[in-house]
Amino acid sequence: MRVRTRLLLFTCVCLALPSSLFADFQYTESTKITGGSIVGMMKMAGVFSRNARQMNEPTTTTILVKGNRMARIDPNSTEIIDLDKETITRIDNKTKTYTVMTFQQMKQQMEEAARQAREKQAQQPPQQSQSAGEEPPKMSFDVKVRNTGAAKQVAGLDAKEAILTMVLEAENAKTGEKGNLAITNDMWMAPEIPGYSEVRDFQRRYALKMGTMLSEAFNPAMLSAMQPGSSQGMAELVKEMSKLKGTPVLQVMRMGSTANGQPLPAASEAPLPQSNSPEMPSAGEVAKESAASTIASKLGGFGGFGGFGRKKKNQEPPPEDQKEAGAQQPPAAVLIESNTELTSFSQAPIDSLRFEAPAGYKQVEPQGMHQ
C-alpha cells in the first residue's frame, strides 16, 4: 500500500505542474513496410483491393507535444491525448467526425471486456485435454538488448546501434512441441536531441496515469494466472530496456518465428533478399491442404517464409565461406519487416488549435459506448 500511495502522490505532483513549465516540441515519424512474406500477400490482395494497396505505402505522422497534450496527425486522422482533461480525442478526416473518450470511460470499457471474457470462459465446456488432466502450454519469455558498438549517420545525426530481441515460446506439456513468436528491433540511437525530453516526459506522465487506471481495472494476480510467465517477461523487458541510451531515430523491426526459440536476426546482420514477394498458392491448392502448410511449402518451407534460406530454381550453390556463415544463423520465418525513421525535430511554438477538432466536424459517440 505504501508503494501505491507514493506512486499516486508522484502522479498528482507531476500532473499538477502548470503547462507553462513545459516547452513545445514536434517531429515527423515515417514508417513503411520493407519486407517479409506479408509483402507478397499484400501485392496479391492489392490486385482486388485499393485499401490493401495503400497498406503497402509509406505513412507519415507528425507528433506534437504542448504541455500536457500530445497529438499524432496523419493525412487521414488525428489522435489527441489531453492529460489535464483526461481525454483521448480521435478525429476522422474522411467522415469529418470526431470522438472524445475519457480515461474513466476507457477504464469502464476494459472492466466490461474483462467481465465478459470471464463469463464466456465460465460458460465454455472444459477442453478435452483439460478433462484428461493435460497441463496448459508452458510459456517462456526471452528479452535481450545488445549494444553492438556499430555507428552511422541517420538524418544527419550520429547514431549507435542497439538490437532488442524478444521471443515468446509456447511448449505443449504432453508432446513437447514448441511454437514461438519472435520480434527483433534494430535501433539506431542518437544522443540527446534538444527538446525530445518533452516527448519522454509526456509519455512518462501518461504511463503513470494509465498504469494507475490499469491496476484498478485488472487484478495483476489474475492476469498472471491467465498468462503464466507474463510478469517475469515484463520485468525482464523493463530491465533490458534500461540499457538503451538516447533517442531511436531509426528502427527496423521484424516479427516472425525461428527454430528452437532463437531470436530473429537483425536487419543489419541478415538483410532480406531484394525479391520479397514469393509466389502465392492458388485457391485450388489452398482447398486441398491447410492454409498454413500450403503457404509454408510455397515459400520454401520453414526456412524460407520471409526470404531466409529460400532457394531459386537453378541457383548456384553459395561459396563455402557463406555456407559456414549461414549455418550460424537459425532458420527464420519473417512475417513482416518495417522501417521507422524520425526527422524534422523542432522546438518552435505550436498553435493550440492543432489540438482541437476542426470547425464543422461533428462529434459522435466512441465505438461501443452506446451499448
Q: Where are the domains of the chain?
A: 2-113+134-311+319-363
Q: Residues 155, 161, 167, CA angle at the centre, nearest 5°?
A: 125
Q: pLDDT of 102-139, one tens digit each?
A: 999 988 888 888 788 878 877 877 654 444 556 667 77
pLDDT tens per residue across span 269-297:
998 876 544 443 344 433 433 333 433 34
Q: Average model confidence (pLDDT) for the chain? A: 75
Please tell me the total number of residues recorded for the chain in this structure.
371
pLDDT at 180: 83
Secondary-structure breakdown of the chain: helix, strand, coil percentages, each rounded to the nearest 5 = 35, 30, 35
The bridge status of strand 362-363 relative to strand 97-102 is parallel
Q: For 159-183, give one letter per residue: b (16+ CB within 10 A) or e.
A: bbbbbbbbbbbbbeeeeeeeebebb
Closest CA to 305 of 323, 290, 292: 292
- Which one has a higher pLDDT value, 41 or 333? 333
Mean pLDDT over 197-209 rounds to 91
